[in-house]
Structure formats: C-alpha cells, structure tokens
Amino acid sequence: MNLLKAIDLFLGEHKPTTAKSYLQPLKSLRDWVGPARELSDISPELLIEYFQMLSKRGYALATVQKHVITVKTFFNWIVKIDKLEKSPARVIKGRKLPRAISRDKAMSDAELSAIIDAVRYKPRDYALVIFLSDSGCRRGGAAGLRLQDINWRERTAKVTEKGDKPRFIAFGEHCQVALVKWLAYRGSLKGSLTGVYIFSFDGALMKPENISLIIRRAAAKAGVRVLSSHSLRHRKGHQYADARIAPSIAATALGHSDVLITLNSYYPGDWESAKKTLHELATDPSTLKDSPDNIVKFGR
C-alpha cells in the first residue's frame, strides 16, 4: 500500500472534525515523502530527516509537536491494521511545549507605574514603555517599527518579529499621544534624520538588544528589580488570561503561531482557578431575567 492510499483510509476512519485536524500534518508528510511511496519504504531514518526539515523551516514548537503526534498516531494505526510490523515513527520523540510562565517573569502594575514615573520626562523612553505595555510587542518588533507601519487613525501598527514574519498590533489613545509627542520632540532636535524608524533618535534602525537596555535602565532608575522588555510582553499575556479573553484572540494579539503556546504559557489549568471561576458563575435565581425571548412556552 502506498502512502496516499493509507492516508485516505486513515482519514476515512475518523469523524470529519478529527480527520480535519489530522489532514494538514499528513499532507505535509505526503508531499515531502511522496504520495506513491510504499509504506514499507518509509524508514525511521526518513522520518528523522522529515522532522529535521520541519525544524529548519522555523515551524513553531507547538506545530512540530502536532505533526509528531499526528504522524505517530497514523503509523500506529498502520501497524494495527497489519500493514507494517513496526511503526517507523517509533523513534520520533515529541518536543516539550513551553511551561506556564510565572508571574514573577511579568512586570507588575506597581513596577510599571514606577518605571513610567521614572521616564515621564524622557519622551522616547516614555513612548516606548507605553507602546510595549499596550501591544505586548517583542523587542525586535519595536526596534524595527517604521513611520509607514503605523495606522494613526486605527491605532494599529505592523511589526516584523520572530522569523521575519509581519503581524499587526494595536495600542491605546495614551500611547498614540506619547508617540506623537516623541516624534515632535525628535523633529525639534538639531541634525537630520537618517531613517524612518520610530524609536531611535536619528531614525536609524535599532538593535533589538537596545530596546531591552532602555527598559533595564528605566527599571534601575525607578528602583525596581532588573526587568527586560519581555517582562512587559509576559504582563500582557497574563492580562489576557486574567480578563478571560479567548485564547485564540490572545494568541493572535501576541503573535503566537499556535494557540497551544498561549494556553501553556499564560492560561492556568489548575483546580483552584477552575473553582474560583465556577463559584463566580454559579446560578443566582435573582439575577435571571424573565424575558419573553428567553422563555419557552408549551401549549396544553
């Protein structure tokens, strides 16, 4: 049996929703290995090469893990129906997904307030802190932010971050004012701009490391613990979870390639959090509305 026929049979054994989740990883394997390749010709070495290829292409950890689980499940099924004696995927090991990110790694509200006060009269640093706080942007995205990337009317911007992939972020009205004030201040300085990048004094491209350096210096001036720019990103992730924002929305806002990364990083799955939520959502008859639209009446 060739790979194409085996995949079709495998998908046909599952419900449409389950088959849909298996489809993309198996299509990727099929296209790389070749649809006409016989199952007996698929060796452990070949699958090792396949997963090495996925890693080199810069796939997110959660995406690679999904491919691993799907391929192992597929070949275990092939063994079960007696088309192979052993699964060639038995040597493939899954990759650990990121663990929950402790709140200790996130900048607290008190620390953010102290840092804002410390840089209040530094227009560039002030605008940068508010921008990172609003957007949860990575330092590379802030360093490469250009004037033409900002939509002032919608208060959004296009940033380029990990893997040179562009994405959109949003910021608030206060951040918009801070950015405008910084750009006006920069324009009043002597000398001419050499570029169009937002957060450098001369408009030239900044190194991402300099973004974290600015935040560390601001933290030192504020008298709080040493913090990097990423602590503001972690703060935003925990904000989304605390506000019960849907993980899919939070993943988009944070630029995660897979919602599992967002879930594992910021959304608690412990019993205490679940118990608190259940108690908050407990039924209170006095709050129920007897709206005609909500009442189902039965005739006698």
Q: Name the β-bridge partners of 151.
A: 156
- CATH number of domain containing 168: 1.10.443.10
Looking at the structure, tell me whether residues 20 and 117 fall in a common domain.
Answer: no
In sequence order, which residues have a C-beta less than 8 Å from that of residue 74 and are 6 or more positions away? 6, 7, 10, 22, 26, 89
Looking at the structure, tell me whether residues 64 and 117 fall in a common domain.
Answer: no
46 domain residue, yes or no: yes
Determine phi and psi for 200, rounding to 5 degrees. -105, 155
Q: Token digits for 269?
A: 């799955």
Of 91, 113, 135, the residue at which a domain comes to its end is 91
Q: How far apart are CA 208 and CA 204, in angstroms?
A: 13
Torsion of CA 93, 69, 55, 86, to 10 degrees: 50
Task: Spell out the per-residue pLDDT of the chain, length 300, in tens.
Answer: 999 999 999 999 998 888 998 999 999 999 999 999 999 999 999 999 999 998 888 776 778 888 999 999 999 999 999 999 999 999 998 766 667 898 999 999 999 999 999 999 999 999 999 999 999 999 999 999 999 999 999 999 999 997 788 999 999 999 999 999 999 999 998 777 878 999 999 999 999 999 999 999 999 999 999 999 999 999 999 999 999 999 999 999 999 988 888 998 999 877 777 888 888 888 888 777 655 555 555 555
Q: Can you give the residue range of the structural domain that contains 27?
A: 3-91
Predicted confidence at residue 299, as pLDDT, reads 57
Looking at the structure, tell me whether residues 198 and 237 fall in a common domain.
Answer: yes
77 domain residue, yes or no: yes
Predicted confidence at residue 270, as pLDDT, reads 73
Looking at the structure, tell me whether residues 51 and 117 fall in a common domain.
Answer: no
149 domain residue, yes or no: yes
Looking at the structure, tell me whether residues 35 and 121 fall in a common domain.
Answer: no
| Cα angle 228-233-236, degrees, rounded to a multiple of 5 | 135
Closest CA to 202 of 115, 119, 132, 210: 210
Q: Token digits for 105?
A: 């790694």
Of 31, 58, 91, the residue at which a domain comes to its end is 91
199 domain residue, yes or no: yes
300 domain residue, yes or no: no
145 domain residue, yes or no: yes
Q: How far apart are CA 201 and CA 284, in angstroms?
A: 57
Looking at the structure, tell me whether residues 76 and 120 fall in a common domain.
Answer: no
Specify the DSSP element, H or E, that contains 14.
none
Predicted confidence at residue 130, as pLDDT, reads 98
Predicted confidence at residue 95, as pLDDT, reads 66
DSSP 206: P
- CATH number of domain containing 16: 1.10.150.130
Looking at the structure, tell me whether residues 110 and 217 fall in a common domain.
Answer: yes
298 domain residue, yes or no: no
Of 26, 57, 91, the residue at which a domain comes to its end is 91
Looking at the structure, tell me whether residues 27 and 157 fall in a common domain.
Answer: no
Looking at the structure, tell me whether residues 13 and 116 fall in a common domain.
Answer: no
Looking at the structure, tell me whether residues 86 and 111 fall in a common domain.
Answer: no
Predicted confidence at residue 295, as pLDDT, reads 56
Looking at the structure, tell me whether residues 81 and 112 fall in a common domain.
Answer: no
Looking at the structure, tell me whether residues 110 and 232 fall in a common domain.
Answer: yes
121 domain residue, yes or no: yes
Query: What's the domain count of the chain?
Result: 2
pTM of the model: 0.67
